[in-house]
């Protein structure tokens, strides 16, 4: 049971496993099916075990994590989860078709050559071919990170929910830098059309550029997105309960400062982009456990690769 687990620093250093995955092996969530704890994962059960409240009216302060050696071991996972939550709440999930883990700083994917027409073949005739080949060049992964400086004395009386929001904001900004690379990869060498003055007709033309694929997502800068939202044809459009703004032809409008004011990118997110990473978010756990919060780094090493060029189209605004 979760009350009997002895927490150790080594849980953070197991090859190929996260801290929560290590806990789950010792305390499987499946064992709690049908109980009041079934909605909690192994880490959340440890918070319950030590009565650490990270949200709500009676939220604890940061120093609650440091009331014992074992509770201090939980603190790095709280920090990592808070930053990851901010990272995952960004547009990355709306533009990436797949996520790949690479064992090195370079990733060599495959390319599909499928240009032959899909026409009927005569009986006994050879079928048109499509070929999959190793990429001619590798995707080089880049490291994105932040150095966080906050003395224990400065944050120990800070409520955990407020401190968690600060950490989430770091995750959001970290993801914004990563999204900029994703947008650049999508726009590079993409088929395009142009316009001198943005109108709804231009968006419809961009939509019409997709044949086999669908334009599920439109990526635009805040300035361009505001012009799109102000179009008369979108007067009856509104964001849904989940905050997604849908265009009349079914495309989600994604607003990001990573996009250029001179380009609108349309994609079929189920086919367009591969997110490649060699690490999850990396944190210096030992320092956090020992309350050495000065100069704590958080980073992620990642890159992007276009999977299906035909699933990406660009509208150039002169």
Q: What is the mean pLDDT of residues 170-194?
A: 94
Q: What are phi and psi of 221, to 5 degrees?
A: -70, 160
CB atoms under 10 Å from CB of 213, counted, come to 18
Contacts of 192 (CB under 8 A, 6+ apart): 313, 314, 315, 316
Q: What is the mean pLDDT of residues 60-88?
A: 94
Residue with tokens 């943005």: 198
pLDDT tens for each residue of 111-140: 888 888 888 888 888 888 899 999 889 999
Is 209's pLDDT higher than 80? yes
pLDDT for res 278: 86
Model pLDDT for residues 275-286, shown as the tens digit of each residue: 999 888 888 888
pLDDT, the chain, mean: 91
Query: pLDDT tens digits for 28-72?
Result: 999 999 999 999 999 999 999 999 999 999 999 999 999 999 999
Residue 242 has pLDDT above 80, yes or no: no
* Distances, alpha carbon 55 to alpha carbons 40, 139, 163, 245, in Å: 15, 41, 10, 29
d(CA 182, CA 274): 9
Residue 241 confidence (pLDDT): 61
Q: Does residue 87 carry a pLDDT above 80?
A: yes
Q: How far apart are CA 118 and CA 211, in angstroms?
A: 13
Question: Which 3 state secondary structure label does DSSP give 299?
Answer: strand
- Measured distance CA(95)–CA(179) in Å, rounded: 9
Tally Cβ neighbours within 10 Å of residue 4.
8
Burial of 119 (0-12, 13-18, 19+ CB in 10 A): exposed
Q: What is the token pair recorded at 215?
A: 């334009």
Q: Evaluate if residue 238 carries a pLDDT over 70.
A: no
Token representation of residue 35: 């109980």
pTM of the predicted model, to two decimals?
A: 0.84
Q: Name the DSSP class of 35.
A: S
| Whole-number pLDDT of residue 98 | 94
Note the pLDDT of residue 240: 65
pLDDT at residue 143, as a whole number = 94
Give the domain ranges of the chain.
2-96+152-176, 98-112+134-151+177-318
pLDDT digits (tens, 9 = 90+) for 246-275: 898 889 999 999 999 999 999 999 999 999
| More reliable by pLDDT, 17 or 177 | 177
User: How deeply is 46 buried, as exposed, middle or buried, from its count of CB atoms within 10 A (0-12, 13-18, 19+)?
Assistant: buried
């Amino acid at each position: 049971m979760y009350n009997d687990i002895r927490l150790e620093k080594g849980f953070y250093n197991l090859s190929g496993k996260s801290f929560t995955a290590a806990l789950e092996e010792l305390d499987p969530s499946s064992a709690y099916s049908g109980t009041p704890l079934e909605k909690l994962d192994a880490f959340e059960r440890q918070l319950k075990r030590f009565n650490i409240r990270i949200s709500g009216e009676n939220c604890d302060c940061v120093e609650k994590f440091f009331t014992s050696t074992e509770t201090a071991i939980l603190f790095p996972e709280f920090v990592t989860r808070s930053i990851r939550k901010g990272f995952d709440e960004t547009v990355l999930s709306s533009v990436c078709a797949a996520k790949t883990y690479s064992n090195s700083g370079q990733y060599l994917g495959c390319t599909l050559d499928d240009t032959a027409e899909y026409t009927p073949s005569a009986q006994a005739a050879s079928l048109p071919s499509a070929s999959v080949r190793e990429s001619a060049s590798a995707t080089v992964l880049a490291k994105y990170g932040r150095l966080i400086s906050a003395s224990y004395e400065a944050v120990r009386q800070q409520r955990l929910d407020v401190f968690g929001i600060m950490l989430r904001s770091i995750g959001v900004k970290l993801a914004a830098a990563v999204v900029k690379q994703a947008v650049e990869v999508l726009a590079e060498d993409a088929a395009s059309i142009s316009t001198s003055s943005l109108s709804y007709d231009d968006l419809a033309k961009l939509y019409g550029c997709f044949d086999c694929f669908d334009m599920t997502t439109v990526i635009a800068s805040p300035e361009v997105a505001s012009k799109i939202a102000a179009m008369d044809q979108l007067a009856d459009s509104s964001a849904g309960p989940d905050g997604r703004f849908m265009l009349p032809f079914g495309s989600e409008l994604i607003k990001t400062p990573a996009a250029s004011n001179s380009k609108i990118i349309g994609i079929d997110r189920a086919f367009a982009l591969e997110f490649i990473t060699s690490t999850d978010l990396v944190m210096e756990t030992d320092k956090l456990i020992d309350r050495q919060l000065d100069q704590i780094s958080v980073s992620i090493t990642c890159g992007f690769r276009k999977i299906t060029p035909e699933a990406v189209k660009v509208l150039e605004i002169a």
